[in-house]
Amino acid sequence: MNTEALDDASIAAATALQPIVQIAADAGLAADALEPYGRYQAKIDVDRVSREAPPGAVVLVTAMSPTPAGEGKSTVTVGLGDALAAAGHRTMIALREPSLGPVFGMKGGATGGGHAQVVPMISINLHFTGDFHAITSAHNLLAAMVDNHLHHGNALDVDPESISLRRVLDVNDRALRRIRLESGDGRSTGFDITAASEVMAILCLAVDRADLAARLARMTIGFARDGRAITAGDLGADGAMAVLLQEAFKPNLVQTLAGTPALVHGGPFGNIAHGCNSLVATTTARRLADVVVTEAGFGADLGAEKFLDIKARAGDCAPAAVVVVATVRALKMHGGIAVDAVGADDPGAVRTGLTNLARHLENVRRYGYQPVVALNRFGTDTEEELAVVEDYCASQGVRCAVTTVHAEGAAGGAALARHVTELLDAAPSYTPVYPEGADVEEQLDALVRRVYGGAGVEFSAEARRQLERLREHGWEKLPVCVAKTQYSFSDDPTLLGAPSGFTVRVRELVPKTGAGFIVALTGTVMTMPGLPARPAAEHMGVHDDGTVTGLF
């Protein structure tokens, strides 16, 4: 087979898609629950989806600490879903929507790869059904209403210097990171990318429309001079924001190359937010399928942690099984090999790098799960390198399967699917790493010591002040959402493997009262990416017949 030579776009273009109405009908969706967006995409009216069957089991796909190129987590998620479907399970996949901005920088798409993709991949990676745009609009309407309130007399006595709400755009535009409003009150503010918007986090955590509206109203934009929190509700913006999100709140149905139904909905950042697809998509998928395969952002210390401690608590969707994606390449990087040299055969480095995988597996166990390792095979991997990982897992009593879904689609995920199937009947067994009601300081201490393997937490003077303010407002028991590098368990991206003894330094504690969590900023977390010197955009175009070229 020489399919790896074909790029993702070519593989996708060579596959005949089924009409989305057919995918929906096969998934048991009533015709009147479907709103088609083109021939191959549709939004689902969740009120018309039956709630009668017991909800399907959730399979969470997470990963070891990744290389900058990523370990193929979305690809494994799609391939596993296809393999489970091929094995006869009523399966649905739930994924994040890609962010438009990075597509024009250097990143490829976020719809899987090779023979494990969700399609139509070009549309999904571009405007899709407009959800990101709706979030951009809702967020920026609120921002405009904040400055409009100041302009028209500031009846709420908002302290302009306290305004934490920035604006958002779904474009990688470094020049907008910090701007001064010369035609406004002259204060400095800036733009984040839309995936970092609190509105995105809200859309992804709301259980229903009433919850969505209530969360929007609770968003804190800043403080009055007397210390009162000023919310979107105080400004009367929440209703209009909900209007702008009316369609965006409906999950999007697409299909994989193998015809497995997939809900692709919501795309919050994995650091400043919780990094998983919308709760409403996960819940809807569970109503329609016996098994729902879904993905968490980055490595398990960030992604799985937030899925379990934030999303699963908010929406009662604890997984039945947890899959940890590992690659020989990432293991070599954690074993001391430079990232641009991980293609060279080095079983010793793989062995050394196992410390990273081991800690992630230990964490998954601490949360109450028997982890399954998906060893995602790349073309440069040798049999000996793969055997190092398989032998290690066997020695630890951990299920492990080499996956080749990129090259082979569902067949390449059959072994992984068999492992996962053995766990599906188990009841969710989530054991919290910090108890409900823990203070944010206690939460951070538990995460750093028990999940990251560090020595403790240190707060900047600013974070200390913010901690006091959180307590004054009674927000200190909201779950913490740690914004941290994905490359290390620590807050230092150069500490690979399984570092210990480090202290995590919290720069800021930002209350996201609509999302219902407190962002703890550590290290240098970027909320507005920039474009590289030669952006991918330079190679794109559209033929006169409408065919897009150069996108992936």
Binding residues: 67-74
* Interacting residues with a second copy between 91 and 130 (CB under 8 A): 100, 104, 123, 126-127, 130
Minimal distance in Å, beta carbon 177 to a second copy?
4
Say how many C-beta atoms besides its own lie within 10 A of residue 232's C-beta: 30
Interface with a second copy (CB under 8 A), residue from 8, 71, 97, 147:
147
Interface with a second copy (CB under 8 A), residue from 145, 339, 358, 386:
145
CA distance 410 to 347: 28
* Of residues 130 and 493, the one with the C-beta less far from a second copy: 130
Minimal distance in Å, beta carbon 116 to a second copy?
24
Inter-axis angle of helices 347-366 and 383-396, nearest 10 = 30
17 neighbors 255 (Cβ within 8 angstroms): yes
* Of residues 181 and 424, the one with the C-beta less far from a second copy: 181
Report the DSSP beta bridge partners of residue 43.
Answer: 35, 252
Tokens of 51: 């709630």
Minimal distance in Å, beta carbon 126 to a second copy?
7
Interface with a second copy (CB under 8 A), residue from 4, 17, 25, 133:
133
Interface with a second copy (CB under 8 A), residue from 19, 68, 456, 550:
550
Interface pattern 229-248 for a second copy (x via CB under 8 A): -------xxxxx-xxxxxx-
Minimal distance in Å, beta carbon 540 to a second copy?
4
Inter-axis angle of helices 73-86 and 414-423, nearest 10 = 80
Interface pattern 445-474 for a second copy (x via CB under 8 A): ------------------------------
* Of residues 349 and 536, the one with the C-beta less far from a second copy: 536
Interface with a second copy (CB under 8 A), residue from 13, 87, 179, 526:
179
Say how many C-beta atoms besides its own lie within 10 A of residue 380's C-beta: 13
190 neighbors 196 (Cβ within 8 angstroms): no
* Of residues 45 and 362, the one with the C-beta less far from a second copy: 45
Tokens of 370: 């028997």
The angle at the Cα of 254, spanning 312 to 245, to the nearest 5 degrees, equals 60
CA distance 335 to 344: 13
CA distance 84 to 90: 8
Q: What is the DSSP string of 289-318?
A: -SEEEEE-SSSTTTHHHHIIIIIHHHHT--
* Interacting residues with a second copy between 29 and 68 (CB under 8 A): 35-39, 43, 45, 47
Interface with a second copy (CB under 8 A), residue from 57, 78, 84, 134:
134
Does the protein bind a second copy through residue 165 (CB under 8 A)? no
Say how many C-beta atoms besides its own lie within 10 A of residue 303's C-beta: 24
Inter-axis angle of helices 198-205 and 209-218, nearest 10 = 150
Minimal distance in Å, beta carbon 26 to a second copy?
19
Minimal distance in Å, beta carbon 211 to a second copy?
10
Interface with a second copy (CB under 8 A), residue from 175, 341, 344, 394:
175
DSSP reduced 3-state for 192:
strand
CA distance 496 to 335: 8
Interface with a second copy (CB under 8 A), residue from 74, 91, 117, 140:
140
DSSP letter for 539, please: G
Q: Residue 517: enclosing H or E segment and its boundaries?
A: strand 517-522
* Interacting residues with a second copy between 510 and 539 (CB under 8 A): 530-533, 535, 537-539
Round the CA-based radius of gyration of the chain to a whole number and report it: 23
Interface with a second copy (CB under 8 A), residue from 58, 76, 169, 320:
169
The angle at the Cα of 64, spanning 59 to 70, to the nearest 5 degrees, equals 95
Interface with a second copy (CB under 8 A), residue from 67, 136, 220, 404:
136
3 neighbors 11 (Cβ within 8 angstroms): yes
221 neighbors 146 (Cβ within 8 angstroms): yes
Interface with a second copy (CB under 8 A), residue from 158, 171, 280, 314:
171
Does the protein bind a second copy through residue 178 (CB under 8 A)? yes
Residue type, 415: A
Interface with a second copy (CB under 8 A), residue from 80, 141, 205, 308:
141
Residue type, 52: E
Interface with a second copy (CB under 8 A), residue from 1, 52, 188, 340:
188
249 neighbors 203 (Cβ within 8 angstroms): yes
Nearest Cα to 223, choosing from 16, 510, 462, 452?
Answer: 510
Minimal distance in Å, beta carbon 234 to a second copy?
11
Interface with a second copy (CB under 8 A), residue from 2, 16, 52, 182:
182
Annotated binding-site residue numbers for ATP: 67-74
Minimal distance in Å, beta carbon 129 to a second copy?
8
Nearest Cα to 350, choosing from 497, 465, 217?
Answer: 497
Interface pattern 189-218 for a second copy (x via CB under 8 A): -x-----------------xxx--x-----
Minimal distance in Å, beta carbon 239 to a second copy?
3
Minimal distance in Å, beta carbon 368 to a second copy?
35
Beta strands 261-264 and 91-95: pairing type?
Answer: parallel
* Of residues 209 and 365, the one with the C-beta less far from a second copy: 209
Tokens of 309: 């401690």
* Interacting residues with a second copy between 366 and 425 (CB under 8 A): none
CA distance 230 to 158: 7
Does the protein bind a second copy through residue 491 (CB under 8 A)? no
Interface with a second copy (CB under 8 A), residue from 6, 86, 181, 455:
181
Minimal distance in Å, beta carbon 152 to a second copy?
4
* Of residues 133 and 365, the one with the C-beta less far from a second copy: 133
Tokens of 341: 């040299």
